[in-house]
Amino acid sequence: MKTNYLLTGLTAAALIFASCEADDTAEIVINNTDNSVTNNNGGSTPEEPSTGEAIDLEGTKTSDLTLDINNTYTLTGPLVMAPNTKLTIPAGMTIKAASGANVYIAISQDAVIDAQGTATRPIVLTSASTSPAAGDWGGLILLGRAPINSTAGGSATSTSEIGGLPYGGSDVSDFSGVIRYVRVEYSGGAADGQSENNGFSFYGVGNGTTVDHIQAFEGKDDGVEFFGGTVNASYVSVVNAQDDSVDWTEGYSGTLSNVYIKHGVSHDKAIEADGFNTDIGNNSNPLYFSAPTVNNLLIIGQGNTTDTEAVRLRAGTQGEFNNVIIQGYEEAFDLDGDSGDSPTGQGVVDGLLFVDTVNFEDISVKMKNDTGFTFTENDFITNEGDATGTDYDTWKAGWTVE
């Protein structure tokens, strides 16, 4: 009971009643005498000797920021590039992030990232922890002005799951910069009870942006997620994402080429695809749904056991999958929808959602139709057995981990 109860008139009544209830709660004492073991902030643990300075990165930057390869950068909080700024990260740089979902890099609408690594000198964004684990920090977030179907279009924006930053618009070819040979590790921390970071989050990013050779490794949530937008990405690797490896929603319509997905023990779907954001509805006018193209896809599961599922297509998503190999799941494609606002089955019937050239290896159910529409497996899947997937061994060399 707090002492300021004494200010009040009927204190006695409250005290009498409250004292009826037991409180046998123990004290907590934190004995933290051994800092060197648990200190995960890197400051006292010299690793690669560097000639440059040790610099903490966080806050909203209103002018260009160019990182110097000679310096050691630690991401200690949200680093947000404000509109009309540019973040340049040189090849070969590793940025370590302190623990916390509120530790992320965000490129706002009208800001630009220039992160061009090479196969031998990738850019790595990772956890600063000495025993890193999925979800240690946020991730990399790009926000652009390409269309999303969560709003009525025009200049209307939505706000991102992380950080509440605006995204969406009407510029199909919006430019958010160049990302090449970039690996994000141990990201995906929950920012609140419902909002989780991903490895790479593309919010309304336009197809003027270049994205190739990216890897999300050991993420707590999704590996790569597209919230609307038109951006294309190629050579995408997602390894051990605990939620969905690739996720799209809000009317995403880019092209993904050469995608490699490998599930770890803890996982959800390899691809979870929504036609629109079912939390707020499809508000586009005229109405449209996500409809990306996925070329050369290899999905490797943990084996054909109960309740495992590779690709979930729902909420009216459309799209084409060309040259796909799926290994080790009970179900390969699970289609969900209804005859109303989530007409996923309509997409199949209309030839707007299909799989062309596919191999199923260690799969029990190739297609499960929960859309409320009637169609056959052959309406959805053609040319089974001729697929080559993607030649991951060739393009993974040097810059990825597993």
Partner 1 sequence: MRQFYLLLIGIIFSTSVWAQGTGSVVGVLSDKEVNNEPLPFATVQIKNTTKGTTTDFDGLYEIANVEAGTYTLVFSFVGYETVEIPNVVVEAGKVTTVNTGLGATAAALDEVVITTTVSRESEVALLLEQKKAVSIQQSIGADELARKGVSDAAAAIAKISGVSKQSGGTGNVYVRGLGDRYLNTTYNGLTLPSNDIEKKNMDLDLFPSDIIQNVAVSKAYSTKFYGDFAASNIDVISKDYKGKGFLDIQLGSSINSRAIGKNFVRSEGTGYFGFYNRYDNNPFAVILSHPVDPVNGGEPININGSISGGKSFEMGEGGRLSLFATASFANDYEYRRGSAADFTTVEKQVYDDVEEFEYSTTTTAMLNAIYSLSSGHKITFNSLFLNSSSDEVGNFGIDGNGRNRDAILNTDKGFFTKNIQFNQDMIFVNQLSGLHTFDDKLELTWGVGYNKVFSNQPDRKRFALENYDRALDNDPDTNPSFYNNTNFDNQRYFQSIEDEELNSRLNLEYTVSDNFKLNFGYNGRSKERFFKNIRYGYDLIEPNTPVTDINNLDSVFNVPNLGSVYDTFVFRSIAPELGIDNRNFPGLDENKYTGNLDIHAGYVNAEITTGKWLFVPGFRVESFNQSISYDVINLPPDASGYAESYENFYLPSLNVRYALNDDSNLRFSFSKTVSFPEFKEVAPFVYEDVTKRVGGNPDLLNDPAVSDVYNLDLKYEWFFGKSELLSIAGFAKEIRNPVNLVIANDATGTRRYFRTGEKANVYGIEVEVRKNLVQDANDNAVVSAGVNGTYMHTKQDLRSSNGLFSSTLDRDDELQGASPFLINADISYSPTSFENYRPVANLVYSYFADRIDALGSGQLGNIVEKGYGTLDFVWRNEIGENWEVNASAKNLLDPDIEYVREGTSFGDYTTSIYRRGINAGISVKYKF
Judged by CB under 8 A, the chain residues 219 through 258 that form the site for partner 1 are 220-221, 227, 243, 250
Nearer to partner 1, 165 or 211 (CB): 165
Please say which residue, 237 or 346, places its beta carbon nearer to partner 1.
346
Least CB distance from residue 19 to partner 1, whole Å?
Answer: 7
- The binder of partner 1 chosen from 342, 346, 359, 400 (CB under 8 A): 342
Output the smallest distance, CB 365 to partner 1, in A: 13
Helix (H, G, I), strand (E, B) or coil at 4: helix
**Whether residue 286 has a cis bond before it, omega within 30° of 0:** yes
Task: Specify the residue, 335 or 387, whose C-beta has the smaller distance to partner 1.
Answer: 335
Closer CB to partner 1, 4 or 394, in the complex: 4
CB contact set of 103 (below 8 Å; sequence gap of 6+):
58, 75, 76, 77, 78, 97, 137, 138, 189
- Residue 132: how many CB atoms within 10 A of its CB? 18
Min. distance of Cβ 189 from partner 1 in angstroms? 8
**At a CB cut-off of 8 Å and minimum separation 6, what does 335 contact?**
313, 314, 344, 345, 348, 353, 367, 368, 369, 370, 371, 380
Residue 315 or 355 with smaller CB distance to partner 1: 315
Q: CB 164 → partner 1: shortest distance, Å?
A: 5
| Least Å from the CB of residue 335 to partner 1 | 12
**Residue 173 corresponds to which tokens in the numbers above?**
């070819």
Which segment (45-53, 252-260, 337-345, 373-381) binds partner 1 by CB under 8 A? 337-345
Q: Which is nearer to partner 1, 166 or 208 (CB)?
A: 166
- Binding partner 1 (rule: CB under 8 A), the pick from 171, 174, 196, 218 is 196
Judged by beta carbon, residue 30 or residue 48, the one nearer partner 1 is 30
364 touches 331 (CB < 8 A): yes
* C-beta closer to partner 1: residue 271 or 387: 271
Residue 385: count of CB within 10 angstroms of its CB: 8
C-alpha radius of gyration, the chain, whole number: 24
Q: Which residues from 21-60 bind partner 1, rule CB under 8 A?
A: 21-28, 30, 32, 35, 37-41, 58-60
User: What part of residues 129-188 is at the interface with partner 1 (CB under 8 A)?
Assistant: 129, 135, 150-152, 156-166
Beta bridge partners of 355: 321, 381
Instruction: Give the residue among 265, 283, 22, 49 at the shortest CA–CA distance from 147.
Output: 283
Contact track, partner 1, 84-123, x by CB under 8 A: --------------xxxxx---------------------
13 contacts partner 1 (rule: CB under 8 A): yes
Separation of alpha carbons 76 and 100, rounded Å: 9
Considering only residues 277 to 336 of the shown chain, the ones binding partner 1 according to CB under 8 A are: 277-283, 307, 312, 314-315, 336
CA distances from 209 to 89, 107, 119, 180, 301 (A): 16, 12, 20, 11, 31
The closest of 215, 207, 283, 297 to 250, measured between CA atoms, is 283
DSSP code, position 251: T
Task: Please tell me the chain's helix, strand, coil percentages from 3-state DSSP, rounded to the nearest 5.
Answer: 10, 40, 55
How far, in Å, CA of 273 to CA of 310, rounded?
11
Pick 11 or 50: Cβ nearer partner 1: 11
Q: How far is the CB of 120 from partner 1 (least distance, A)?
A: 33
